[in-house]
């Protein structure tokens, strides 16, 4: 049934608090309208009771879209809410399927995955699924290896900024172990990482030359739509390895150089 109202959309919807999956619930006229979330600067709206999403320029346009759907009768407030899907996995689980396996995304993912390991975080959700690197400014579900808690974090916060690689906030998360014990426990958990790959089944690159060769092969496989070859190469470049820190240091040499300040 179509709802008739004279109120403007921005007076009818209310955006709630972000949940553990990074989504904001939206009510329209006090009834469930769906949820919205942000990814790479754009906003996506998922109607209540549905699984499909639509893209919008900002949060308010996304929420207003849900109000329009209520008016059209496309949303039934009494319907069962759509389940937030488990962490989706693309060609490999260590890179979000929403990110193309381009050279830059592979490098960013390898560096981020190594750093979260150094900080005693595990990219995993509450169901035990690996959560792929989602990009620097998107929420990333991680498991704190100090407390066992699952927390949404942003890589842009974990990596630090302006040459200071101190993660923000310095206190890891609410409910974690005492702050003064954190550094010691991280050091004990992580230990001294090796500089070469000790893995038996897969050889992961740790030198710049090896990284360069694998990146070139991965780009050729991506352009040729050769998923099997690409999967093998991404496993070498991104899969967990005790020497992931050395791999990441070599990857950093291929990032664009910062522009000199005037």
Residue 250 C-alpha from the chain's centroid: 23
Instruction: Dump pLDDT digits (tens) for 26-46.
Output: 999 898 998 988 877 788 889
Residue 205 · residue 236 · CB < 8 Å:
yes
Q: What is the pLDDT of residue 260?
A: 63
Instruction: Dump pLDDT digits (tens) for 138-168.
Output: 889 999 999 999 999 989 889 877 667 788 8
Tokens 């290896």 found at: 145
Other C-beta atoms within 10 Å of 82: how many? 16
Q: What is the pLDDT of residue 1?
A: 39
Q: What does the pLDDT average to over 79-85?
A: 71
Instruction: Dump pLDDT digits (tens) for 193-251.
Output: 999 999 999 999 999 999 999 999 999 999 999 999 999 999 999 999 999 999 999 99
Instruction: Dump pLDDT digits (tens) for 99-134.
Output: 999 999 999 999 999 999 999 999 999 989 999 999
Q: What is the pLDDT of residue 7?
A: 57
Output 76 or 202, whichever has higher pLDDT. 202
Output 72 or 205, whichever has higher pLDDT. 205
Q: Which residues contact 252 (CB under 8 A, 6 or more apart)?
A: 107, 111
What residue ranges do the domains of the chain occupy? 9-72, 103-252
122 has which bridge partners?
Answer: 143
Q: What is the pLDDT of residue 262?
A: 59
Output 226 or 261, whichever has higher pLDDT. 226
Residue 78 · residue 102 · CB < 8 Å:
no
Q: Which of 202, 197, 186, 192 is nearest to 250 (CA)?
A: 197
Q: Which two tokens stand for residue 156?
A: 């842009």
Output 4 or 171, whichever has higher pLDDT. 171
Rounded CA separation 83/102 (Å)? 30
Q: What is the pLDDT of residue 9?
A: 63
- When computed from its CA atoms, the radius of gyration of the chain, rounded to whole angstroms, is 21
């Amino acid at each position: 049934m179509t709802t008739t109202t004279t109120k403007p959309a921005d007076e009818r919807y209310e955006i709630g608090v972000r949940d553990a999956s990074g989504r904001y619930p939206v009510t329209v006229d006090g009834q469930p309208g769906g949820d919205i979330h942000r990814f790479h600067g754009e906003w996506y709206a998922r109607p209540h009771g549905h699984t499909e999403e639509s893209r919008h320029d900002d949060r308010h346009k996304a929420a207003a879209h849900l109000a329009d759907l209520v008016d059209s009768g496309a949303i039934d407030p009494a319907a069962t809410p759509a389940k937030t899907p488990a962490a989706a996995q693309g060609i490999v689980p260590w890179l979000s399927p929403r990110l193309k396996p381009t050279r830059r995304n592979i490098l960013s993912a390898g560096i981020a995955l190594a750093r979260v390991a150094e900080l005693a975080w595990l990219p995993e959700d509450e169901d035990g699924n690996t959560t792929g690197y989602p990009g620097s400014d998107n929420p990333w579900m991680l498991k704190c290896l100090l407390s066992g808690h699952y927390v949404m974090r942003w890589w842009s916060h974990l990596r630090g900024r302006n040459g200071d690689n101190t993660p923000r906030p310095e206190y890891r998360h609410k409910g974690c172990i005492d702050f003064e014990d954190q550094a010691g426990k991280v050091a004990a958990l992580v230990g001294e990482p090796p500089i070469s790959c000790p893995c038996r089944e897969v050889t992961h690159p740790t030198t710049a030359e090896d990284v360069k060769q694998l990146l070139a092969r991965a780009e050729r496989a991506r352009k040729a739509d050769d998923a099997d070859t690409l999967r093998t190469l991404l496993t070498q470049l991104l899969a967990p390895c005790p020497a992931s820190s050395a791999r990441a240091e070599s990857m950093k040499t291929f990032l664009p150089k910062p522009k000199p300040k005037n």
